[in-house]
A and B are shown apart, each in its own frame.
Chain A
Amino acid sequence: MDLKSQILEMIRLSSTNLSTDVEEAIKAAASNEEEGSPAKNALNTIIENIALARSQSTPICQDTGALIFYVDYKAGEHEKVYIDAIGEAVKEATAKQYLRPNAVDPITGKNSGNNTGTNAPYIHFHQWDKDYTRIRFMQKGGGCENCGTQYRLPDITLGAGRDLKGVRKCIIDAIYNAQGQGCAPGIIGVGIGGDRALSHILAKEQLFRKMGERHMDPEIAALEENVLKDINKLGIGPMGFGGKTTALEVFIGYQHRHPATFYVSIAYMCWANRRKSMTIKNGEVTYA
């Protein structure tokens, strides 16, 4: 198979076949909600939907998202090879209805019809020392993207200072403000530090983590667990119908900051957490 077809298959898998770690987390959440409650009914419909999308190979959600690729390539490879293959794969995936046309010119309002355009799809390139190439893919829904936000600490209204206590308040505030709008239960990526742009990038990249994968730093790992418990006390629940599951995960990352700045960025991912990766070694492809 050529590179384009290999990428096309990753797109199909991502759009139609939700990763089992996310599916398991949703099933666990459903068993935790009260019988007959709107929360439980909503989660059961979601579970049915995941299975149906997989068996029919149709998009899990009709908003197939903004398409974001992360390519880690070996020294000596050319980015252009990936740019071309990804562009073609995206067009074909759109024609095959794995993707909805989601690239709109902000000035003319015109939809390009094939998911390509300026910075669409967006590709993050990174060269690494490994002997294989890795391409990761994320479909970021528009509804949940609108629930993302950024805080500049200290934040006086929240009473949030430049420490982990302050970070905790930002996360709770963002989820409270989102209510059910991001198709809760969500998966929350948090980026601490960096400039404004890097902070958002770090937050979003956390969404690639496997459900239950805690941060290496025990202090951050503990914060992830505790703030998730707190969020679920809010009672917003699936779709905002009320219930015990408002979020499925909180993943926090940090990086160095300028002495004068302290940003906390929140990336909100809906339950339809569509992300896949592929590695290419000696021409052999493995999907995960």
Chain B
Amino acid sequence: MLKITTPLSEETIKSLKVGDSVLLSGRIVTARDAAHKLMVEEKPDFIREYLKDAVIYHCGPVVKQDSKGEWSFVSAGPTTSSREEPYQSTVIGEYGVRAVIGKGGMGPKTLAGLKEHGAVYLHAIGGSGSVTASRVKKVEKVFMMEEFGTPEAFWVIDVEDFPVIVTMDAHGNSLHANILEQSEKVYKDLIK
């Protein structure tokens, strides 16, 4: 298992390749549909310092607030990434994001964006909400909670040894495209 920590350098990112299992530590920011739309349409500055050389996570967590007002994550697995396909590449370029975590992979536009800006797509293990929440050491901040609601807000969190797999690298390779191609051959044979 490789271990990487934010802030992520372009060099570290470029050393990763499709199929690598990685444990990620450091700062990540959750962002879903509403957040991506906002980042593309209004390019807000409040989130800039948290995203530079850091990580976006497609996740709508189950959260809890204690009596002192401190937030914690109860369950926090990835959500389907393909919904952010129209926005992702622009967001990566605009904010200097080095990695995007999600599930299901993304399309050609994002793949090209990853290559252009030196970033990777990391696949979390869909459904493993309790394990991923247990790797969240601290909830630093939350933005747009009122406007977007819990699942859609920007949660700035600190993680330790968050398990992911590189499925789209900074060199134009996509595990998703490879698997699609391989399975297509078998599929055609099976339904002949």
Binding site for B on A (CB under 8 A): 36, 38, 41-42, 45-46, 48-49, 52-53, 56, 58-64, 97, 100-101, 111, 141, 143, 146, 158-159, 169, 172-173, 176, 179-181, 183, 230, 233-237, 239-242, 270-272
* Central interface residue in A58, A59, A62, by most chain B CB within 10 Å: A62
| Structural contact, B104 and A181, CB atoms closer than 8 A | yes
Partner of B131, one of A45, A143, A179: A45
Provide the residues of chain A in CB contact with B139, threshold 8 Å. none
The CB with the most chain B CB atoms within 10 A, among A59, A169, A179, A230, is that of A59
Besides the contacts A64-B75, A173-B187, what 16 more A-B pairs have beta carbons closer than 8 Å? Answer: A41-B163, A45-B128, A46-B127, A46-B128, A48-B128, A49-B125, A49-B127, A53-B75, A61-B129, A100-B75, A141-B127, A146-B80, A172-B187, A181-B82, A235-B186, A237-B179
Contact B149 A111 (CB under 8 A): yes
> In the complex the two chains form, is A272's CB within 8 Å of B21's CB?
no
Nearest to A143 among chain B residues (CB) is B80
> Once the chains are docked, how many angstroms separate the CA of A36 from the CA of B190?
29
Please, could you name 21 A-B residue pairs with CB atoms under 8 Å apart, sorted by A?
Answer: A48-B128, A48-B131, A49-B130, A52-B134, A53-B129, A59-B75, A61-B75, A61-B129, A97-B62, A97-B75, A100-B60, A146-B80, A172-B187, A179-B179, A234-B186, A235-B183, A239-B126, A240-B179, A241-B175, A271-B127, A272-B127
Inside 8 A of B103's CB, which chain A residues have their CB? 143, 180, 183, 239
Are A242 and B175 also in contact (CB < 8 A) when A41-B163, A176-B183 are?
yes
Q: Say yes or no for B151: interface residue by CB 8 A criterion.
A: yes
Contact A59 B62 (CB under 8 A): yes
**Across the interface, do B134 and A179 meet the contact criterion of CB distance under 8 Å?**
no
What is the CA–CA distance of A41 and B164 in the complex, to the nearest angstrom?
9
**Interchain CA distance A34-B118 in the complex, whole Å:** 31
Residue numbers in A under 8 Å from B167 (CB-CB):
241
Interface contact A62-B64, CB-CB below 8 Å: no
List B contacts of A58 (CB < 8 A): 62, 74-75, 129-130, 133
- Residues on A with C-beta less than 8 A from B79 are 63, 143
Mark B80-108 against chain A: 1 for CB-CB distance below 8 A, else 0.
Answer: 10100000000000000000000111000
Which residues on the A side are within 8 Å of B163 (C-beta)? 41, 45
Contact A270 B190, beta carbon cutoff 8 Å: no
Distance of A72 Cα from B125 Cα, bound (Å): 36
Complex Cα gap A36–B80 (Å): 25
Q: Are A59 and B74 in contact (CB under 8 A)?
A: yes
- Out of A45, A53, A60, A235, name the residue touching B179 (CB < 8 Å): A235
Q: How many A-B residue pairs have CB under 8 A?
A: 152
Distance in angstroms from B131 CB to nearest chain A CB is 4
Closest chain A CB from B132 CB (angstroms): 8
Q: How far is the CB of A198 from chain B (nearest CB, A)?
A: 26
Q: Point out residues on B near A: beta carbons under 8 Å.
A: 19, 21, 59-62, 64, 74-77, 79-80, 82, 103-105, 123, 125-131, 133-134, 149-151, 163, 165, 167, 175-176, 178-180, 182-184, 186-187, 190-191
B192 to chain A, nearest CB (A): 8
Contact call B127/A61, Cβ cutoff below 8 A: yes
A180 touches B75 (CB 8 A): no
- Smallest CB separation, A266 vs chain B (Å): 15
Most chain-A Cβ atoms within 10 A of its Cβ — which of B60, B62, B151?
B62
Chain A residues within an 8 Å CB radius of B77: 61-63
Whole-angstrom distance between the alpha carbons of A256 and B186 in the complex?
33
Chain A residues closer than 8 Å to B19, beta-carbon distance? 38, 241
Closest residue of B by beta carbon distance from A101: B150
Cβ of A284 to closest chain B Cβ, rounded Å: 31
CB distance from B61 to the nearest CB of A (A): 6
In the complex the two chains form, is A59's CB within 8 Å of B179's CB? no
Beyond A159-B191, A240-B104, A241-B175, is A59–B129 a contact (Cβ under 8 Å)? yes
Cβ B165 vs Cβ A241 within 8 A:
yes
Q: Contacts of A271 on B, CB cut-off 8 Å?
A: 127
Among candidates B75, B80, B178, residue contacting A62 with C-beta atoms closer than 8 Å = B75
CB distance from A5 to the nearest CB of B (A): 21
- Known A-B contacts A111-B149, A158-B191, A235-B182; the reply to A60 vs B129 at CB < 8 A is yes
